[in-house]
Structure 1
Amino acid sequence: MEATAQQEQVRAIAERFVQIAPDGWARLVGNWEATVVDGEVSLNWITLGVVDLGDRWGAGQFGFDEQLYDLVAELNEGMAQAGERWTVLDLEVDRDGAFRTRFGYGPPTRTLGRPDEESLGRFEKYLDTWVAEHGPVPGR
């Protein structure tokens, strides 16, 4: 997958992520671990939204979306064709439209049944981290 096509696919993933986001979101966080099973990409995913609840921040995982899943799997396949199959994709999307991606190429530990701080722990504490950085009340 050429760099331009990769960027377009990542942008499509970020746009779909926003389309399925919960109301009042401030940041969306996605983490996908990819493995190939019987020739098909299989994704283990976490999609988390930080939400402005007015008097406090909230965070939680939101539901599965087949279109988002397919877009991420297509990115994995496209990059594999260029010899760059990733095993972990992180995506953060902020309300202002900024987004960041990070590809990992090591073992997908959550998928392998060995959850660690990177694959699971940071999501369990994501709201605490957000509040520490942004304060306990939105807009202040």
Structure 2
Amino acid sequence: MHVLPLHRRVVALIFPLIIGGIAVLTTPTFFEVGLPWWPLLILGLPGLLSLLICYEYWNAAIGFDSEQLHFRSVGYQVTAPWQRVSERITDGKVSLYVEACEPRYRWWLWIMQSALHVFMPHRSRYAHGLMALIPLYWFASAPDGAVMQDFRKYSGNRVGSADKLSAMPDLAELQNAAIRSIAHDVINLQDGEWEDREWRYLAVDHEVLVADGRRSSTQAKVIAQRPGAELEELGFRLSPESKAHLLALRGAMAEVDGKIWTILDMTVDHSGEYDFTFGYGAPPRLNGDLLHSPLTGLLERYRKARSK
């Protein structure tokens, strides 16, 4: 396993130093007012957590073998076969994306994630999605260093690029994967909590720049309903996993027909019917038209279509 370079590892010391600094500054005041145990009560648990984070950050590591990628980070581990790993390069920095990532949590992060899932499920899902992205450049001090040499040696030709996840793309399966992921995202509302709603219809307008696919603009809305209540039109967020699925679809389509779409309009009905429409012109919002909102009035159009 390769650990972080020293200049990155020392960042781990920041966490206990912050708690220690707060304790040093506040403890005399608590003693003066006759509350000597309060610093321990207030800062004890955060202090222990900061030491845990410090220890795990210091010991973060990445490793490779002929079958799998191994990554150990703060509070979780990821192990994935090379067939599910794709490579991304941003500003010359190499990261790895693990498709269908299932991190193994440490006990303390599992408790925190479980609590977050109860009170803020959309944030919990978002955090889970971020764990699929592994910053290889954190560990690689040089393009030809030991980390990159081992990575190239063991990954071979089995790691795809961000826009090319398989040699023979199955466009239907890639579309279905995107639909499944986005259907799970509807609970990540822009405002409020999902609670007991059920979704009936969703629509996504997704813009991507041709150059690299990393700049995007998304509008996503869902028509949902509480039991016995009226239909609602709600905005929701796409997870990093869903955006990765859309990029995978974009890359596979470009491989098949040589054209790179810049605009995706997608609708999905709860019955299973769906529609994908692709545009190849300049994406409006990414080119300055910030008021471009093709999903405005979605609920009215939905009702009108169902009344026919």
Whether the TM-score (by the shorter chain) exceeds 0.5 is yes
Gaps of 5+ in 1: 136-140
Does residue 129 in structure 1 map to residue 295 in structure 2?
no
Partner of 2:203: 29
1:52 equivalent among 187, 211, 225: 225
1:75 equivalent among 233, 238, 249: 249
Partner of 1:7: 172
Gaps of 5+ in 2: 1-163, 188-196
**Helix, strand or coil: the match of 2:244?**
helix
Q: Compared with structure 1, are the counterparts of its residues 40 and 31 closer, same or farther at alpha carbon in structure 2 (3 Å cutoff)? A: closer
2 CA distance for matches of 1:20 and 1:134?
A: 24
Give the AA of the match of 1:76.
R
- Paired residues of 1:36 and 1:42 also in contact (CA < 8 A): no
2 CA distance for matches of 1:41 and 1:84?
A: 17
Higher helix fraction: Structure 1 or Structure 2?
A: 2
**Helix, strand or coil: the match of 2:287?**
coil
Does residue 97 in structure 1 map to residue 287 in structure 2?
no
1 CA distance for matches of 2:238 and 2:176?
A: 19
How many pairs are equivalent?
131
Following TM superposition, by how much is the alpha carbon of 1:63 offset from its aligned partner in structure 2, in angstroms?
2.0
Cα deviation code 1:78-112 (max 9, x no counterpart): 22334110011111111111111111111111221
Higher strand fraction: Structure 1 or Structure 2?
A: 1
1:42 equivalent among 196, 200, 215: 215
**Helix, strand or coil: the match of 2:286?**
coil
Give the AA of the match of 2:295.
F
- Paired residues of 1:34 and 1:76 also in contact (CA < 8 A): no
Q: Compared with structure 1, are the counterparts of its residues 131 and 40 closer, same or farther at alpha carbon in structure 2 (3 Å cutoff)? A: closer
2 CA distance for matches of 1:85 and 1:108?
A: 12
2:184 equivalent among 19, 44, 47: 19
- Paired residues of 2:253 and 2:260 also in contact (CA < 8 A): yes
TM-score normalized by the length of structure 1:
0.80
Partner of 2:16: none
Q: Which has the larger radius of gyration?
A: 2
Aligned Cα root-mean-square deviation (Å): 2.4
Give the AA of the match of 1:52.
Q
Which stretch of the first structure deviates more once superposed, 124-133 or 49-58? 124-133
Cα deviation code 1:20-66 (max 9, x no counterpart): 223410001111111045x3432211111001233311011112311
